[in-house]
Structure 1
Amino acid sequence: LIVISGLPSSGKSTRSKELYNFFLQNRKKVYLVSENEAVPKAGFHKNDYFADSQKEKIVRSELKSEVLRLLNKKDVVILDAGNYIKGYRYELFCATKATRGNQCTIFCGIQEKRAWELNQQRCDVESMTKSEILNNSCVPYTKEIFSALCMRYEEPHGNCRWDSPLFVVFPEDKLNFDGIHSALFESKPLPPNQSTQNPPLTVSNYLFELDRLTQDIIADILAARKLGIFGPVSVKGSETKVEIPAHYNAIQMNRLRRQFLNYSKNHHATTSTLDRVPQLFVQFLNSNCNKQ
């Protein structure tokens, strides 16, 4: 993922197109997710959109959803937007970690005065063609909106892990294409941590399946006893046989089952998958029964 960030009229869309063409030439599949296209698509006028925080939230959410849909280890996703909120950039960073991919930030540096001059060079909406209206790149900001966006802009910093590696480029500079390519495809991806991984099941489903599996194992042991088998018993899903002493009755076994459930409720996130539950429960029974 390449996150583009900068003040209004700092050249974000220009840099996005340069990156898009560079990776296409290097035979990469590239997706360009553009705020300039998302805003008119949502039915908002550019300056009205930035004047309404609720409208901004709607489009930011749509942009993030589109990025999440496209993210993978092989392709390049370029997010062309202001991305002026550091918390939003952190959310994107976590999403990239979850895919075990890499991310970098392109900061389009510019003086505010110079950015305003470039903004004034943009054409009026009345003189735009229908196709241009579908892309806000050429629509100028009003002075009020321009100043507001500059005021609330949270500049990226290279010492923040969610903005790193950070590439700063000014209007007269050339992009460091080789460095960006290396950051994305030659660096070791950061492993996802617990906060960026989705649990395989919801808590309620996990506990339901856990209860069912442990009940089935107790039922297998009791069924074997009815057949006169009091030695080691094989249960489905476990390589280890369960060995319950002959003096243990159903009440005692269910008491141990409840202990196992209570422990698992507090530690279910550390249990990798449900298919390991039978093996873990059998080991739990064997260990605790032999203690008593």
Structure 2
Amino acid sequence: MPLIVISGIPCSGKTFTAKQLQKYFTKTKNVEAIVVSDNDLIANDANRVYERYRYELYCMSKESGNTHCVIECAVPKDEAWTRNERNGQSYSRKIFDELIDRYEAPDSRNRWDSPLFVVTPEHQLNFADVFEALFNRKAPPANQSTQSQPLSETNFLYQLNEETKSIVNHILKAQEMGAVKDIAIPKTSLKLTAERVFTSVELNKYRRQFITYTKQHPTKDKQLIPTLFVQYLNGIIE
């Protein structure tokens, strides 16, 4: 059964979007949403704040040989809070802010977040495009013992993404604590040898460059990712 994962911060319109999709598929395409059968559709609109949840859902969908897509309901934080207040304040301000801080937005460059459709207050969802992505696209093959390479590659890309993201966050936190030079990095004996403070924009730019390079020249040992990333950063910074 095709899978739709709907992602977004609290009060961004996930449930509303899920209901719209259900209405479209059942009334326009005669496809029963939420009901489990080979030709039906499952729409998941839970608070998918963590990227790893979307990754796990992608793997399950792939394993079962079905198509999937991700829809992000993207609204500004202030507008989401206004909706929360208008709806009787489902979340306290503290919980609301914590959920937003933990939210990891989908990235269409990741296989588990693709195809990605973004819904904003100014840009409504094109249901026909979603239908096309789910029902007129070949499903990825189920992983069997003789077909393990696609999943292994996906696992590598996921770990590459997570490890480098963790290192960037670690560096930013260390800088906030006053560290500038020889910042120790988890999972590697190497240190960041920079002698100045870097912005989040700079570090994430270097991170994207490293990911692009590593996709083209993957390492056989995934445990080396932190070391290779720090080497890359030190080489660029020098």
Where on the TM-score scale, by shorter chain, does this alignment land: which range?
A: 0.5 to 0.7
Per the TM alignment, residue 96 of structure 1 is displaced from its structure 2 partner at its CA by 0.6
Equivalent residue for 1:169, pick from 119, 133, 138: 119
**1:208-235 superposed Cα distances (whole Å, 9 cap, x missing partner):** xxxxxxxxxxxxxxxxxxxxxxxxxxxx
Per the TM alignment, residue 114 of structure 1 is displaced from its structure 2 partner at its CA by 1.1
Tell me the distance in 1 between the aligned counterparts of 2:53 and 2:13: 20
Structure 2 partner of 1:20? 22
Q: How many percent of aligned residue pairs carry the same amino acid?
A: 42
SS state of the match for residue 11, structure 2? coil
Structure 2 partner of 1:216? none
Compared CA separation, residues 109 and 10, structure 1 to 2 (3 A): same
Structure 2 partner of 1:7? 9
SS state of the match for residue 34, structure 2? strand
Equivalent residue for 2:59, pick from 68, 90, 94: 94
1:31 matched to 2:23? The reply is no
SS state of the match for residue 113, structure 2? coil
Letter in 1 for 2:33: V
SS state of the match for residue 100, structure 1? coil
Q: Which has the larger radius of gyration?
A: 1
Paired residues of 2:5 and 2:45 also in contact (CA < 8 A): yes
C-alpha RMSD of the superposition? 1.9
Letter in 1 for 2:99: L
Structure 2 partner of 1:156? 106
Tell me the distance in 2 between the aligned counterparts of 1:193 and 1:159: 22
Tell me the distance in 2 between the aligned counterparts of 1:89 and 1:73: 21
Per the TM alignment, residue 173 of structure 1 is displaced from its structure 2 partner at its CA by 2.5
Tell me the distance in 1 between the aligned counterparts of 2:19 and 2:121: 14
The residue correspondences of 1:179-258 to structure 2 (distance < 5 A) are: 179-194=129-144
1:79 matched to 2:36? The reply is no
Tell me the distance in 1 between the aligned counterparts of 2:25 and 2:62: 21
Equivalent residue for 2:94, pick from 144, 147, 162: 144
SS state of the match for residue 2, structure 1? strand
Tell me the distance in 2 between the aligned counterparts of 1:113 and 1:103: 30
Structure 2 residues without counterparts, runs of 5 or longer: 148-238
Per the TM alignment, residue 73 of structure 1 is displaced from its structure 2 partner at its CA by 4.0
Letter in 1 for 2:93: K
The residue correspondences of 1:105-124 to structure 2 (distance < 5 A) are: 105-123=70-88
> How many residue pairs were aligned?
144
Compared CA separation, residues 73 and 183, structure 1 to 2 (3 A): farther
Tell me the distance in 2 between the aligned counterparts of 1:100 and 1:27: 22
Structure 1 residues without counterparts, runs of 5 or longer: 33-69, 124-138, 198-292
Letter in 2 for 1:7: I
Tell me the distance in 1 between the aligned counterparts of 2:63 and 2:39: 14
**1:66-107 superposed Cα distances (whole Å, 9 cap, x missing partner):** xxxx3x541100011111111111111111112211000000
**1:232-275 superposed Cα distances (whole Å, 9 cap, x missing partner):** xxxxxxxxxxxxxxxxxxxxxxxxxxxxxxxxxxxxxxxxxxxx
